[in-house]
């Protein structure tokens, strides 16, 4: 369960840092999120939709005992959050 909670915490951190740098005028690097932002015109909604889908997939991975996959994804999102924080600090 801890690995899923870490995933959820990283998703909230990524959501928050992404919204901060979008407010500061930095463009979204993820092409899926960038397309949703253009289509919806609502950056927060676009990021929330992607995060919700990711959380559903993570819950499925956890329930099907794919914990190694979740560990790898957690490392990836920890790096994403770190990158977002670096971008925020430099803007």
The residue range of the domain holding 47 is 2-90
Give the pLDDT of residue 1. 87
How many domains are there within the chain? 1
pLDDT mean across residues, the chain: 94
Q: pLDDT tens digits, residue range 43-62?
A: 999 999 999 999 999 999 99
- The pTM (predicted TM-score) of the whole model is 0.89
User: Which residue pairs from 1-7 have beta carbons closer than 8 angstroms and sit at least 24 positions apart in sequence?
Assistant: 1/62, 3/62, 3/67, 3/70, 3/71, 3/74, 4/58, 4/59, 4/62, 4/70, 6/74, 7/55, 7/58, 7/62, 7/70, 7/73, 7/74, 7/77
């Amino acid at each position: 369960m801890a690995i899923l909670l870490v995933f959820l915490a990283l998703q909230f951190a990524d959501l928050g840092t992404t919204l901060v740098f979008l407010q500061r005028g930095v463009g979204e690097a993820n092409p899926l999120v960038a397309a949703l932002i253009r289509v919806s015109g609502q950056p927060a909604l676009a990021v929330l939709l992607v995060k919700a889908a990711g959380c559903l997939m993570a819950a499925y991975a956890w329930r099907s005992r794919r914990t190694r996959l979740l560990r790898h994804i957690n490392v990836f999102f920890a790096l994403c959050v770190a990158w977002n924080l670096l971008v925020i600090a430099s803007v």
